[in-house]
Amino acid sequence: GENVEQHPSTLSVQEGDSAVIKCTYSDSASNYFPWYKQELGKGPQLIIDIRSNVGEKKDQRIAVTLNKTAKHFSLHITETQPEDSAVYFCAASKGDYKLSFGAGTTVTVRA
Amino acid sequence: DSGVTQTPKHLITATGQRVTLRCSPRSGDLSVYWYQQSLDQGLQFLIHYYNGEERAKGNILERFSAQQFPDLHSELNLSSLELGDSALYFCASSPRDRAITEAFFGQGTRLTVV
């Protein structure tokens, strides 16, 4: 089955700096790569996603890049703000019913 | 608010007991997906239902079962509970079958087995 690895497990950044989280996946048939933000006591919230026919996608301060050949994808958050502090999960899917999640990255934005 | 409602939010029970977790999907959504989030296994897919029918199974233990009712709400039944079943249980819903790309997650039920 699909195996998704996520790094780093924790990330502390100064407010205003950028944060980068990287994930690798194993199943070349995966074609959908979402990123979720989970705040304390809440469920995973989709923040951005990318499909395998696209190399990069941006939404305001958030961007995701995908390298299908190397089987890795990354989340970039620019101009970080305190409200960006949360746990972030990457996932990979064939777009059907199952998401294979990474282990998560705890991001702390220092004021 | 994702529109997916899970009850109860917290549940504490003893080993060996049985519990039922409930999920009400977003209005109009026919698919429900159950996921378990534990400290050692992370977020894992359990089971998927579409319009009352089981469509896919993941790493769901035999002690666990689920169903989706005619009004489209779903229940996850966990029996003979063990300490290791303590976890957050999430459901997600989407309008179509096998369409996790369109799914929204609920806020979860935190199960503590003591």
Residues A87-100 have a mean pLDDT of 93
Chain B residue closest in CA terms to A31: B101
Q: What are the distances in angstroms from CA B110 to CA B13, B19, B103?
A: 11, 12, 20
Residue by residue, DSSP assigns A79-102 as: S--GGG-EEEEEEEB-SSS--EE-
| Nearest C-alpha neighbor of A73 from the set A62, A65, A85 | A65
Distance CA A4, CA B31 (A): 25
Q: What are the pLDDT digits (tens) for B70-105?
A: 999 999 999 999 999 999 999 999 999 988 888 999
Contact B42 A104 (CB under 8 A): yes
Q: What are the pLDDT digits (tens) for A2-44?
A: 999 999 999 999 999 999 999 999 999 999 999 999 999 899 9
- The beta-carbon neighbor of A44 closest among B45, B101, B105 is B105
